[in-house]
Structure 1
């Protein structure tokens, strides 16, 4: 039975130990990934790629460079969100291709391409700057995917604790094209979660009228 949005938010927590005997169905995993795919991104560039890993040998190789966190190998599906590098450069042709999906006349296309290049001049000046930009956006997809999973009663745990250079190497990435942004295992909890601890609403929200 699917949960309401607020039920999913109450259910979701950073799962530390997954039940290795339980596997996510293809239907449910595709639902989670589709929510990630439909997530918003700057200029609609979708500067990400989702690696979905179920190969146990590869998960075992990844775990040591993720601070040996058990979730990496005990989860059902290990998703690694990659930040795009080359694909968001105007010279790649991908930027123009994605703008063209909106079926606009050439003069308008040229305007948007110019706006994109000018607005992002500093961001696009180096691969390191591009990585900072696209990796930050990947967290939008990450949050949506974790909530989508919780709606289905599926657990997750966002992981920033990894050695990026070594993980990129284990994955055999071409760093001019993609680099690791964040790791998120999905599966089913083996223990009941403790009470969710959050600050009071009034400590977090300030209304300016």
Structure 2
């Protein structure tokens, strides 16, 4: 991808407030966006996320009131609920060992990485609340990649943090010891003109230390 093509996607992307509910994202384009999410980096390679793709309109209607009645929820083509994993990142779950074990290595080296992981994240892994704060941050890496990838093929999105977490998790019937909602991310096609993109200048947000 050329630099100008990437910037074109960034200029296209905006927080779409209302989608055209008559337009549906082709299955292959949705799969592309989700594949970009799957390929996203995560701390220690734990991939601490799950992506619920809500296409059922009745479920969207149930979700809308606990998302501040935002129009994006019911007008989008596909509503992606990004979940942060809780149980799977705990050492005792056995999942971290499986993650490290995906690459061939002797057992002593694998144990070294597991101990490094456990010691480095001792405070983080001490409670589900701390785990959520860590894994939810990881999901934002995937979300950013998804939105940029979607923009690159002419698909709009809108990252939403405005939701009642506990109520949304009940609607989704989540076992919150395993998964908790990190972000609501609708995808679709804009129905209105894009608003002007307002950003600080590069000089205002960067400092070079030489």
Normalising by structure 1, what TM-score?
0.98
Residue 188 of structure 1 corresponds to 189
2:100 is aligned with 1:127: no
CA apart distance, 1:103 = 1.4
Deviation at 1:151, TM superposition (A): 0.3
Counterpart Cα distance in 2 of 1:5 and 1:104: 38
**Residue matched to 1:85:** 86
Q: Secondary structure at the match of 1:82?
A: strand
User: Which segments of structure 1 move beyond 2 Å, counting only runs of 4 or more?
Assistant: none
* Structure 1: distance between partners of 2:67 and 2:204: 33
Equivalents in 2 of 1:60, 1:103: separation in Å? 47
User: In the alignment, what sits opposite 2:60?
Assistant: 59
Residue deviations 1:137-177, cap 9 Å, x none? 11000000000000010000000000000000000000110
SS at 2:200's partner residue? coil
Structure 2: distance between partners of 1:9 and 1:91: 41
1:152 corresponds to: 153
TM-fit CA distance, 1:62 = 0.4
* 1:105 maps to 2:74: no
1:179 is aligned to: 180
For residue 49 of structure 1, report the CA deviation from its aligned partner.
0.4
Q: Is 1:18 aligned with 2:25? A: no
Q: Distance in 1 between matches of 2:195 and 2:48?
A: 35
* 1:194 to partner: Cα distance: 1.8
Distance in 2 between residues matched to 1:111 and 1:201, nearest whole Å? 42
Q: Which runs of 5+ in 2 are unaligned?
A: none
Number of residue pairs aligned between Structure 1 and Structure 2: 207
Look up the match of 2:205. Answer: 204
1 CA distance for matches of 2:71 and 2:17?
Answer: 7
Report how far residue 8 of structure 1 moved: 0.3
Q: After the TM superposition, which residues 17-56 of structure 1 pair with which residues of structure 2 at under 5 Å, given as runs?
A: 17-56=18-57
- Structure-2 separation of matches of 1:106 and 1:87: 21
Partner in structure 2 of residue 71 of structure 1: 72
Matched, 1:137 2:128: no
